[in-house]
Amino acid sequence: MENETLDIVREAFTLMMVISAPILLVGLVVGLVVSVLQAVTQIQEQTLVFVPKILSMVAVSIALLSWISVKLMEYSTELFSWSPVTGS
């Protein structure tokens, strides 16, 4: 029973990382690009990085919403089909 519970938690964390990875990678890339542009143009505005980063992360979240919902539905179906009595 304990091993099965640990497997469920491990799958949940893995799913969380898989779902959040594309969004975080886009935020990282946009942040790096804006930082390089700031260094080249010598604009030292601290808030300039946040607006493009947030907008790009929201856009990617909206674009991947169907994929994220499918992944969450698959995990939920697997979780609810698991029976503690039978152990399957």
Domain boundaries, the chain: 2-81
CA gap 68, 88 in Å, rounded: 25
Burial of 22 (0-12, 13-18, 19+ CB in 10 A): middle
pLDDT score of 75: 93
pLDDT at position 84: 64
Q: Which pLDDT does position 16 carry in this prediction?
A: 96
Q: How far apart are CA 51 and CA 46, in angstroms?
A: 11
What pTM value is reported for the model?
Answer: 0.79
Q: Along the 88 residues of the chain, how does pLDDT read in single tens digits? A: 778 888 888 999 999 999 999 999 999 999 999 989 988 988 888 788 899 999 999 999 999 999 999 999 999 998 888 766 555 5
**CA separation for the pair 22, 66 (Å, rounded):** 14
